[in-house]
Structure 1
């Protein structure tokens, strides 16, 4: 599938189920006891009662609504696969980063609510970590995009948090998880540990 096809259905590019992707991924991990392959996650979303409720049925309903409004079914389905695939890759990137930073001695905590509500992927003490891929449409650097930054969402928190970000350049290879390099991870570990 081409990126242009996957991102050409506006209602799906910006689509989020009411039950945040991160919650669905965490439920799937708990259900199967491991980080799922894409095929396992797809099976969960299509056939597990919780997966159907949180992602399978809402995604099908969105496709049905768009088809009823005149979007070709193949196009709506391709765009939804692209959207869910990107969310899945994002989840794998977060898990990989968490594991790699813990291997470097950083005892990060995670919770799906901090991700869904505050855009914080992990934290240690009063230091919040966000992981993102630069994209001007959504969020890049200090520039605003459609995604809110945790520094904005948590600006009034007392005591104040310190914010750290690992920002990757846009992925260039289709079908591969885009993860931080060892250099990104070493630098982040040094910042998070204060060394």
Structure 2
């Protein structure tokens, strides 16, 4: 499914999807640490890709919400665990229900935008630059590798000092550190975007970002 996508299909989803963050503001969305740092047992990458394969297309956020709340697989992967966490926070007096629900919308909405950004980037590099990039949810969830070609690994990041920014900052360990002992060694390419300046819109690499990444993935540009 992923490798058959066209740029037009991905752009159509970007136009059709509802605002994944709803009306939630950052100060509210990031105010519940138990949700900001939450990772369900089924990694988000796994759930998004499973949903996409089930639908036969990249899901809009409203389609993904329907999958998560209305299908047996979606409820098991995300819907029920998310509700259980909210319920626990409310029942133990750690957080009011509305704030917990808003924080969960922020967490899942941002994860959705991250998935859509990765799909957009992979499709652009495959279609425009003819690079046979591959991707797998396990590579994303375990090793922070969003795609690869041969022994060159690609990671896509949005600059955020709290989570992951540059080689040394943030709490998310980058792929080049997680896979530093792989033999023979891998080469690493990173597309790091500045923080989004527009609320609730898909933040994607520029054409120049993609041109530079394509050169590095071909081995004709400097690795980062």
Same fold (TM over 0.5): yes
Deviations 1:124-178 (A, max 9, x none): 0000000010100001011232111111111111110001100000012112010
Query: Where in structure 2 are there 5+ consecutive unaligned residues?
Result: 1-23
1:96 aligns with 2:124: no
Q: Distance in 1 between matches of 2:55 and 2:160?
A: 32
What is the DSSP-based 3-state SS (H/G/I as helix, E as strand, rest coil) of the residue aligned with 2:155? strand
What is the DSSP-based 3-state SS (H/G/I as helix, E as strand, rest coil) of the residue aligned with 2:103? helix
Q: Distance in 2 between matches of 1:117 and 1:162?
A: 17
TM-score (norm 1): 0.98
Deviations 1:2-36 (A, max 9, x none): 11000001111111101100000010000000000
Counterpart in the other structure of 2:63: 40
Counterpart in the other structure of 1:86: 110
Mapping for residues 8-87 of structure 1, pairs under 5 Å: 8-70=31-93, 71-87=95-111
Stretches of 4+ aligned residues off by more than 2 angstroms: none
Q: Distance in 1 between matches of 2:162 and 2:53?
A: 33
TM-score (norm 2): 0.86
What is the DSSP-based 3-state SS (H/G/I as helix, E as strand, rest coil) of the residue aligned with 1:128? strand
Q: Distance in 1 between matches of 2:189 and 2:155?
A: 6
Q: Distance in 2 between matches of 1:62 and 1:172?
A: 31
What is the DSSP-based 3-state SS (H/G/I as helix, E as strand, rest coil) of the residue aligned with 1:59? helix
1:123 aligns with 2:148: yes
What is the DSSP-based 3-state SS (H/G/I as helix, E as strand, rest coil) of the residue aligned with 2:35? helix
Counterpart in the other structure of 1:186: 211
1:134 to 154, 159, 172: 159
